[in-house]
């Protein structure tokens, strides 16, 4: 007899994981919005140094990293949540806030993990279409907020479409949402955004909106995707306490903590990497537009490209893979006929443009 699983296992969608790892080296990895820069040597060294103490569990209060983030953003450490990647905090937020009868509102297409929150909890997902420029339509989202809404997710800049909405728009939205509704501003790519400016700017909103949570990560700008460290800057201690309550105590290994702590000490280099990424992105966008394709107004380290109507999306994506370039097909991300391309090194980007030009003829 087969195992009998919980009902919700049938509802939970499979996350569209990146494929192509079997292709080995010399592949342009443009499918997961990672940094094209390896971690700094000092960061790698910090992680190495603590491995000697691996016979001990990590400090379950994660005190050093939380204090460093608290100091950087001027918040009490009790309002900093940490996680095994920011996904961990996102899923914990779903578990802590949602249940059958509750609603979660988010735009679509947005980050592929959002549908999991409703599916695992039995809450109702309200997916609001993006506007014609592939941006969040905050007015439309607001009109979907009801007494049943427990959580609103705003992905800013949005994955997969790369677009951002200004903080003035976010603020207007927050002014109109009841204070008992949790609003998570998912800012995985905030450091790349020129529209949002300084990553400290949205932190100011936390002072006025205790229902707000800023979700951030070391996976993107800090180049630590493989170590899995995310964090949330919380408007209230309650959110942090609740997401800690629903998770195992040791979600962050000692190497990950040490690397993240060291990474925070190198902000000048982080900014230089942002500048280089944005310069690479401009060249990438020029190359794609030069092929006559529409590219969304990017404010992140990736671009969103609409394919010509006559092109078959899966043929394009598999044609790129045959040429050792991995990108993400729009269909897997909620919009067929598009693709999401991470900004790589100049060489990777050039390989992508040359391959795409060949495929589209
Ligand atoms: C918008 C957004 N939020 C959150 C995450 C999760 O990142 P991580 O779990 O690596 O911190 C990602 C990853 O791609 C993302 O694109």
The mean of the pLDDT values for the chain is 96
176-to-57, 181, 214, 305, 345 alpha-carbon distances in Å: 44, 11, 18, 33, 42
Q: What is the pLDDT of residues 258-282, one digit of tens each?
A: 999 999 999 999 999 999 999 999 9
The secondary structure element, H or E, covering residue 303 is strand 302-306
Helix or strand or coil: residue 124?
A: strand
- Alpha carbons 300 and 112: distance in angstroms, whole number: 17
Cβ 163 vs Cβ 296: under 8 Å: yes
Residue 21 has pLDDT above 80, yes or no: no
- Alpha carbons 88 and 251: distance in angstroms, whole number: 9
Output the residue whose Cα is nearest ligand 1's atom 9: 85
* Over residues 202-221, mean pLDDT: 97
Cβ 268 vs Cβ 239: under 8 Å: no
Question: 111 CB less than 6 Å from ligand 1?
Answer: yes
236-to-66, 97, 178 alpha-carbon distances in Å: 15, 14, 15
Question: 33 CB less than 6 Å from ligand 1?
Answer: yes
Q: How confident is the model at residue 192 (pLDDT cuts 50, 70, 90)?
A: very high
Does residue 8 or residue 72 have the better pLDDT? 72
Output the residue whose Cα is nearest ligand 1's atom 16: 159
pLDDT of residue 12: 86
Q: Tell me the percentage of the chain whose pLDDT exceeds 70.
A: 100
Q: How confident is the model at residue 106 (pLDDT cuts 50, 70, 90)?
A: very high
Ligand 1: nearest atom to the Cα of 111 = 1
* Over residues 321-337, mean pLDDT: 95
Phi, psi of 124 (to 5 degrees): -95, 130
Q: What is the pLDDT of residues 151-190, one digit of tens each?
A: 999 999 999 999 999 999 999 999 999 999 999 999 999 9
Q: Which residues contact 330 (CB under 8 A, 6 or more apart)?
A: 109, 160, 307, 313, 336, 337, 338, 339, 340
Handedness of CA 55, 59, 60, 65 (dihedral sign): negative
Find the 76 Cα to ligand 1 centroid distance in Å: 24
- Eight-class DSSP state of 80: E
Cβ 135 vs Cβ 165: under 8 Å: yes
pLDDT of residue 92: 98
Find the 236 Cα to ligand 1 centroid distance in Å: 22
**Helix (H), strand (E) counts: the chain:** 14, 13
Q: Which two tokens stand for residue 1?
A: 């007899």
Q: Which residues contact 244 (CB under 8 A, 6 or more apart)?
A: 81, 92
Ligand 1: nearest atom to the Cα of 229 = 11
Q: What is the pLDDT of residues 37-90, one digit of tens each?
A: 999 999 999 999 999 999 999 999 999 999 999 999 999 999 999 999 999 999
Q: How confident is the model at residue 133 (pLDDT cuts 50, 70, 90)?
A: very high
Ligand 1: nearest atom to the Cα of 228 = 10
Residue that the structure tokens 């947005």 belong to: 110
Residue 354 has pLDDT above 80, yes or no: yes
Output the residue whose Cα is nearest ligand 1's atom 7: 86
Question: 159 CB less than 6 Å from ligand 1?
Answer: yes
Q: Which two tokens stand for residue 232?
A: 């949330």
* Over residues 302-325, mean pLDDT: 95
The secondary structure element, H or E, covering residue 243 is helix 237-245
Q: Which residues pair with 216 in a beta bridge?
A: 231
Cβ 150 vs Cβ 123: under 8 Å: yes
* Over residues 101-127, mean pLDDT: 97
Is the backbone of residue 122 left (phi > 0), alpha (psi -120 to 50) or beta?
Answer: left
Q: Which of 87, 92, 94, 160 to mutate to test the pocket of ligand 1 (most atoms within 8 A of CB)?
A: 87
Cβ 301 vs Cβ 343: under 8 Å: yes
Q: Which two tokens stand for residue 257?
A: 């903590």
Q: Which two tokens stand for residue 327?
A: 């990108």
Phi, psi of 325 (to 5 degrees): -130, 120
Find the 173 Cα to ligand 1 centroid distance in Å: 23
- Alpha carbons 162 and 171: distance in angstroms, whole number: 20
Find the 134 Cα to ligand 1 centroid distance in Å: 19
Peptide bond into 355 cis (omega under 30): no
- Alpha carbons 181 and 141: distance in angstroms, whole number: 13
Residue 23 has pLDDT above 90, yes or no: no
Find the 68 Cα to ligand 1 centroid distance in Å: 21
292-to-10, 30, 190, 296, 312 alpha-carbon distances in Å: 42, 20, 29, 13, 16
Question: 349 CB less than 6 Å from ligand 1?
Answer: no
Nearest 5°: CA angle at 216, between 28 and 207?
155
């Amino acid at each position: 007899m087969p195992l009998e699983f919980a009902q919700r296992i049938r509802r939970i969608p499979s996350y569209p994981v990146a494929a192509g790892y079997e292709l080995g080296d010399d592949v342009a990895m443009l499918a997961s919005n990672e940094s094209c820069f390896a971690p700094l040597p000092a960061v790698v060294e910090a992680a190495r140094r603590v491995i000697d103490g691996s016979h001990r569990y990590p400090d379950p209060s994660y005190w050093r990293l939380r204090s460093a983030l608290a100091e950087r953003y001027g918040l009490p450490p009790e309002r900093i949540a940490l996680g095994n990647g920011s996904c961990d905090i996102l899923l914990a937020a779903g578990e802590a806030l949602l249940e059958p009868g509750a609603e979660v509102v988010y735009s679509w297409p947005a980050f592929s993990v959002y549908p999991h929150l409703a599916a695992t909890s039995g809450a109702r997902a309200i997916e609001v279409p993006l506007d014609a420029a592939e941006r969040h339509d905050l007015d439309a989202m607001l009109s979907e907020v009801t007494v049943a809404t427990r959580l609103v997710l705003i992905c800013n800049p949005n994955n997969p479409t790369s677009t951002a909405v200004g903080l003035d728009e976010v603020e207007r939205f927050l002014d109109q949402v009841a204070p008992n509704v949790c609003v998570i501003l998912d800012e995985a790519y905030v450091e790349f955004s020129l529209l949002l400016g300084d990553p400290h700017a949205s932190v100011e909103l936390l002072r006025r909106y205790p229902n707000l949570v800023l979700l951030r990560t070391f996976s993107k700008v800090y180049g630590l995707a493989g170590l899995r460290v995310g964090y949330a800057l919380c408007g209230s201690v309650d959110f942090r306490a609740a997401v800690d309550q629903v998770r195992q105590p040791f979600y962050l290994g000692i190497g990950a903590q040490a690397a993240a702590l060291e990474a925070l000490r190198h902000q000048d280099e982080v900014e230089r990497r942002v500048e280089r990424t944005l310069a690479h992105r401009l060249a990438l966008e020029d190359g794609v537009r030069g092929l006559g394709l529409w590219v969304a107004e990017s404010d992140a380290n990736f671009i969103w490209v609409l394919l010509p109507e006559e092109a078959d999306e899966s043929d394009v994506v598999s044609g790129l893979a045959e040429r050792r370039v991995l990108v993400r097909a729009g269909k897997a991300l909620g919009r067929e006929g598009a693709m999401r391309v991470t900004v790589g090194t100049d060489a990777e980007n050039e390989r992508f443009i040359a391959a795409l030009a060949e495929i589209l003829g």
